[in-house]
Amino acid sequence: MGTPAGKAFDVGLLVAILLSVTCVLLESVPAINAEYGLPLRIAEWCFTVIFTIEYVLRLWTVAHARSYAFSFLGIVDLLAILPTYLSAFFSGPQSLAVVRGIRLLRVFRVFKLVRFVREGSQLANALYASRRKIAVFVAGVVCIAVLFGTVMYLIEDDEAGFTSIPTSIYWAIVTMTTVGYGDVAPSTTLGRLVSGILMILGYSMIVVPTGIVSAEMARADITAKRGRVCGSCGATGHAEDAMYCRVCGDKL
Amino acid sequence: MGTPAGKAFDVGLLVAILLSVTCVLLESVPAINAEYGLPLRIAEWCFTVIFTIEYVLRLWTVAHARSYAFSFLGIVDLLAILPTYLSAFFSGPQSLAVVRGIRLLRVFRVFKLVRFVREGSQLANALYASRRKIAVFVAGVVCIAVLFGTVMYLIEDDEAGFTSIPTSIYWAIVTMTTVGYGDVAPSTTLGRLVSGILMILGYSMIVVPTGIVSAEMARADITAKRGRVCGSCGATGHAEDAMYCRVCGDKL
Amino acid sequence: MGTPAGKAFDVGLLVAILLSVTCVLLESVPAINAEYGLPLRIAEWCFTVIFTIEYVLRLWTVAHARSYAFSFLGIVDLLAILPTYLSAFFSGPQSLAVVRGIRLLRVFRVFKLVRFVREGSQLANALYASRRKIAVFVAGVVCIAVLFGTVMYLIEDDEAGFTSIPTSIYWAIVTMTTVGYGDVAPSTTLGRLVSGILMILGYSMIVVPTGIVSAEMARADITAKRGRVCGSCGATGHAEDAMYCRVCGDKL
Amino acid sequence: MGTPAGKAFDVGLLVAILLSVTCVLLESVPAINAEYGLPLRIAEWCFTVIFTIEYVLRLWTVAHARSYAFSFLGIVDLLAILPTYLSAFFSGPQSLAVVRGIRLLRVFRVFKLVRFVREGSQLANALYASRRKIAVFVAGVVCIAVLFGTVMYLIEDDEAGFTSIPTSIYWAIVTMTTVGYGDVAPSTTLGRLVSGILMILGYSMIVVPTGIVSAEMARADITAKRGRVCGSCGATGHAEDAMYCRVCGDKL
């Protein structure tokens, strides 16, 4: 799609996605919906028609229509048009809540933007390669939150907001991630001491994912350097443009 | 401007900028404006005269007056003196709001400080080189905020503050960036669970821009190392002071 | 435990741990405990029996039962089953608070998950190697909090929440770690200025642990590279697969 | 001070510093001061006597008593004992506020802990070498806070807490550093949009100091590698144990 026509199509699609999501957002504001309800609904149908044409064209033009239809982008393209058609069927007054939920699914059109992202593959690889470590890190955060939440549930009163362990765990996550709403906050001296420890822990722990990704990137670097192996002696670590093994001198 | 006179001029200008911005800030405090209104206004005119003389002198002394006038620093220098002169024209009582807005433009004098910054070029290059990735990261943050905001708008009640999707997106940004005002906060169990996921996501995601800049800096390093190419065999990776190609032995 | 039976055992144990901790959490919610109290208590005894069987089996099968019993995992496995048995003894109405505390100890079953973590050894090594620096960093954070807390106790009134130095230190930790509950917040101009300095300090200081771990990882790298020393001339810095000293040419 | 006696002295001093600071903190809690006022005051005089003996001993034993007395640690040691003696002079009821201020100076005894820190020199060097960049970063944060504070002062009402530009700048710093107290928070749609931009900016900007320190550490590495220069041809980049210039072959 490097042609001028392809670029114009891309820009037009980008604008249509952003505008259609904006419409969904504006529709949810009571004051705006009351005044501009009709033009928003008309715009909605226009965007749905545009995305339907786009979906049909893609199905038509791609080499393997089936594999496109079941790919991530294919399902996203389908989900972008389905909610509007579905909401037309549920028109009775009793199904307002259902329609409202279905209509909000249109927000998932933002996933259509994934098509425009071609950057960040090196970072994505580093993230993918360290997915198990990230899972361990997240599990660690949750475990610490469970422990501190239980301890705070024992220490603090119900009046400070620590009414159950799940609520205390919510407080522990709010504190560890340094979000700090303040809707649940410690009121006793012991509770504040424990909170302080949790805060400094959470503040310092941010270094762990940074270290994970840095280490993974350095490892990727080393792996790249070690990529070429000598067929004679198995030595690694040759420069990219080396022609002879640096240990046994055989041709690579 | 390495001469003693030039240095004295620089220091004087720096002090004048900081003092004049401080005056604008103090003028906005009702109590201070009521008591010291007149001296602040006199100081204001003094600074304006100083900056006007500076602007005229620069126009006079630079080699290309035109290119200076339309450069970033030239426009900043002009904007630093215009508001005071403009506010003298709008003296009628009906234009108070306009005058107030114009007078606050004087705060943009802080941009005059850019002249003194000569540090950080390597970091600026790394940031500039990774501008597209940073844009993708910010777009990603906004998309996640849109998705979580919509989900929370469905889950939470109006009473907790989730009155519309834009408000919910504002909450999602406040939560993801770990700011956490607490003016809008989840009250239901499901809402708190979703919030917890968003918090841990936002807490861990900070690693992404760090990774981007680190990767860019490492790449800049590698590019610098690979800069010299052998004319005979196309090999790269020569040291900066190498005189012969390390693969074919020809002179570089 | 690479056999299919071992894997099934691992998965079953993982599920049992997660379910049993979830039960403890749910039991603390008043509404859920009132309605599902009996099934939760039955599930509790089932999990305790399962973990008891697991503990006895491990004692039986490991080579050194004694060293297992006193290892970290052995103690955790014991602590996972003790609270339920203990709570059966204290059945009088006067010991409710004690029983409640003992029963909550069951949350420490999350430590049984440590058995499943085999990732992150490189990062763990970097963290362990830099433990003294991390201690200095945490001590530095606490010292800055003590100083700023005392200063703010002098500046701010009791009404803003700064009722004693310990409370002010709690505020300083909340602020430095960028948690920011807002339950204690400065109200005077001078207090807000000092707060601003503390915030920017805390915001910038996060770079210190990142720097510590990065430096430690780089050092580990250098140590690995320097590991092999020439026996003839003492030269270091040989590649991992080098066979001859790069300075004197003797065999390594 | 590597002798057992020296180590015992060090440990004793460390304990005395921590205990004496704890006493100052506890004295500020009204309930504790009312009940344990006398023992705290006695302990206070004991610690002052201990620190006085330590100060006199150091003056006596160090080689250059004068240079110690005016060094950082010497002044800290003096400041650790002065407040108690000074507060004995101001005993009239009219000087309570002065005495209170002077007595709180004892908290600065935490600086005596600097004597025990021998770690982190590499990081300290990196921080020192990048002090100008860090100053530019902090100045940048303040400038952005001034600009966003002024804009929010124009957009938001007094009722939301934006009563003057200094208050708005305080809000901007609270938001940028992701502290987020919530005592001042935007209430209008436009204000929330601008806040969202500031939040994402502050969230992403944390990468800048990380990048500065990483770059400085990498540079320190390169400088170390380039340290040896060939006397014949001026080439750099020799390995630490190289004996001949790698460009011209002359002995280093």
Please identify every stretch of chain C with a pLDDT value under 70, giving residue numbers as ranges. 1-2, 91-96, 118-123, 214-252
Query: For residue D221, what pLDDT is reported?
Result: 55
> What are the tens digits of pLDDT across the range C69-97?
888 888 888 888 888 888 877 766 656 67
Partner residue opposite A183 with nearest CB, options B182, B236, B237: B182
Query: For residue A10, what pLDDT is reported?
Result: 85
- Residues in chain C with CB shorter than 8 Å from the CB of D123 are 133, 208, 211-212, 215
CA distance B166 to chain D (A): 8
Query: Cα(B147)–Cα(B12) distance, rounded to whole angstroms?
Result: 52
SS3 readout for C193-207: HHHHHHHHHHHHHCH
Interface mutation target, options A188, A195, A200, chain C, most CBs of C under 10 Å: A200
- Residues facing B251 on adjacent strands: B244
CA-based max dimension of chain C: 83
Where does residue D178 fall: left (phi above 0), alpha (psi -120 to 50 degrees), or beta otherwise? left
Residue B240 has pLDDT above 60, yes or no: no
Complex ipTM value: 0.81
Contact B133 A126 (CB under 8 A): no
- Residues in chain A with CB shorter than 8 Å from the CB of D178 are 178
If you measure CA to CA, which chain C residue comes closest to D210? C207
Neighbours, chain D (3 or more CB pairs < 8 A): A, B, C
Partner residue opposite B241 with nearest CB, options D133, D175, D236: D236
- Residues in chain C with CB shorter than 8 Å from the CB of A189 are 166
Q: How many angstroms from the chain centroid is the CA of residue B74? A: 18
Contact C182 B178 (CB under 8 A): no
Location of structure tokens 């169990």: B189
Query: For residue B39, what pLDDT is reported?
Result: 92
Query: For residue B2, what pLDDT is reported?
Result: 62
Partner residue opposite A206 with nearest CB, options B180, B203, B218: B203
Neighbours of C119 (CB within 10 A): 16
Partner residue opposite C178 with nearest CB, options B178, B181, B210: B178
CA distance A178 to chain C (A): 4
- Residues in chain D with CB shorter than 8 Å from the CB of C189 are 166
> What are the tens digits of pLDDT across the range B117-144?
765 566 677 777 777 778 888 888 999 9
Neighbours of C149 (CB within 10 A): 25
Location of structure tokens 């072959």: D249
> What are the tens digits of pLDDT across the range B63-122?
888 888 888 888 888 888 888 888 877 766 656 677 777 888 888 888 888 777 765 566
If you measure CA to CA, which chain D residue comes closest to C214? D214
Interface of A with C in 131-160 (CB under 8 A): 132-133, 136, 139, 143, 146-147, 150, 153-154
- Residues in chain B with CB shorter than 8 Å from the CB of C210 are 210
Q: Cβ of B207 under 8 Å from any chain A Cβ? A: yes
Partner residue opposite B136 with nearest CB, options A117, A182, A183: A117
Query: For residue D222, what pLDDT is reported?
Result: 52
Query: Cα(D141)–Cα(D203) distance, rounded to whole angstroms?
Result: 12
Query: For residue A236, what pLDDT is reported?
Result: 52
Q: Which long-range contacts (CB under 8 A, 24 or more apart) does A89-97 make?
A: none
Query: Cα(C51)–Cα(D197) distance, rounded to whole angstroms?
Result: 51
The answer to whether A76 and A114 have CB atoms below 8 angstroms apart is yes
Query: Cα(C41)–Cα(C54) distance, rounded to whole angstroms?
Result: 20
- Residues in chain D with CB shorter than 8 Å from the CB of B104 are 150, 153-154, 165
Please identify every stretch of chain D with a pLDDT value under 70, giving residue numbers as ranges. 1-2, 91-96, 118-123, 214-252
Partner residue opposite B178 with nearest CB, options A167, A177, A182: A177
Q: Cβ of D211 under 8 Å from any chain A Cβ? A: no
pLDDT (tens digit, 0 to 9) for every residue of chain A, 252 residues total?
Answer: 568 888 888 888 889 999 999 998 888 888 888 899 899 989 989 999 999 999 999 888 888 888 888 888 888 888 888 888 888 777 666 566 777 778 888 888 888 887 777 655 666 777 777 777 788 888 889 999 999 999 999 888 888 889 889 999 999 999 999 998 988 889 888 999 999 999 999 988 887 777 777 666 666 555 554 444 555 555 555 555 556 655 566 665
Contact C214 D214 (CB under 8 A): yes
Contact B182 C182 (CB under 8 A): yes
If you measure CA to CA, which chain B residue comes closest to D179? B179
Contact A182 D181 (CB under 8 A): yes
Q: Cβ of D196 under 8 Å from any chain A Cβ? A: no
Contact A182 D178 (CB under 8 A): no
Interface mutation target, options B159, B207, B216, chain A, most CBs of A under 10 Å: B207
Give the number of beta-carbon pairs within 8 Å between B and D. Answer: 129
Contact B101 D180 (CB under 8 A): no
Which DSSP category does A231 fall into? T
Q: Which long-range contacts (CB under 8 A, 24 or more apart) does C9-17 make?
A: C10/C116, C13/C54, C13/C112, C14/C113, C14/C116, C16/C47, C16/C50, C16/C51, C17/C109, C17/C110, C17/C112, C17/C113
Read off the pTM.
Answer: 0.83
> What are the tens digits of pLDDT across the range C198-212?
999 998 888 777 777
**Closest to C218 measured CA to CA, from B210, B240, D216, A237:** D216
Where does residue B236 fall: left (phi above 0), alpha (psi -120 to 50 degrees), or beta otherwise? beta
Neighbours of C130 (CB within 10 A): 25
> What are the tens digits of pLDDT across the range B193-213?
999 999 999 988 887 777 777
Query: For residue D144, what pLDDT is reported?
Result: 92
Neighbours, chain A (3 or more CB pairs < 8 A): B, C, D
Name the phi and psi angles at C245, rounded to 5. Answer: -65, 135
If pLDDT is split at 50, 70 and 90, which confidence band does B239 have? low
Contact A185 C183 (CB under 8 A): yes
Q: Cβ of C201 under 8 Å from any chain D Cβ? A: no
Partner residue opposite A213 with nearest CB, options B181, B207, B236: B207
